[in-house]
Structure 1
């Protein structure tokens, strides 16, 4: 078992570290800022749409998934950059794979939103 905080104090410290990570992503990652701004527009839109609650959750969940994967990608990039600046095939591969994960998540979100909108238009 790793040493550290226990009980409720561990939960508070974990929350503190998570908030610190969100601040770092906001400060250092342009893509994260862009995706947050997109979510700030689309989440209220999803909440205002006259659709089922579960469908709203799916729309919002697809946006949150983009943010989650972007954070993981940024963490991978930070670790790779920490190791060194010289070009290494595996470092580039790790960054490219992380970027591909973000791309696929963006595609999933786009397809989710388009499907809901098309279904809403067809159902009238």
Structure 2
């Protein structure tokens, strides 16, 4: 039992180290964090159902996760080599696209919820 607790603890430390690295090195994560605070407050202030509120808050967190994965892709690609390669560019562009598509999805959710409030 104690060993399992220590494994969970170690995984949490590694996860926090990864998030902290992205926070320190990627300005886009800071921008997403600021937007999460703003839109999170809006989600808490608007008269939304628990499901709507949860979906919107979760969407913001998923964008942060996508940004962390994008950074991981960039680090691995850069570690392999710094020369310009088509495959490296494609990998980085696909990671960036994942963040953009996630953000678009959350934007669609916000528009849907706001339109529902206006009806």
Is 1:89 matched with 2:94?
A: no
| Equivalent position of 2:73 in the other structure | 76
Query: Which of residues 31, 34, 52 is equivalent to 1:34?
Result: 31
| Equivalent position of 2:45 in the other structure | 48
Structure 1, unaligned runs of 5 or more: 1-5
TM-score for both structures, normalised by structure 2: 0.94
> How big is the shift at 1:22?
1.1
| Equivalent position of 1:3 in the other structure | none
Find the aligned partners of 2:115 and 2:32 in 1 and give their Cα distance: 23
- Matched position secondary structure for 2:34: helix
> How big is the shift at 1:71?
0.7
Query: Which of residues 86, 105, 110 is equivalent to 2:107?
Result: 110
Find the aligned partners of 2:58 and 2:10 in 1 and give their Cα distance: 26
1:6-32 deviation line (CA, Å, top 9, x unaligned):
411111011011111111111000111
Is 1:7 matched with 2:4?
A: yes
Find the aligned partners of 2:37 and 2:17 in 1 and give their Cα distance: 20
1:74-120 deviation line (CA, Å, top 9, x unaligned):
10001101111101111111001111111111111111111101110
Structure 2, unaligned runs of 5 or more: none
How many aligned positions are there? 117
TM-score for both structures, normalised by structure 1: 0.91
| Equivalent position of 1:22 in the other structure | 19
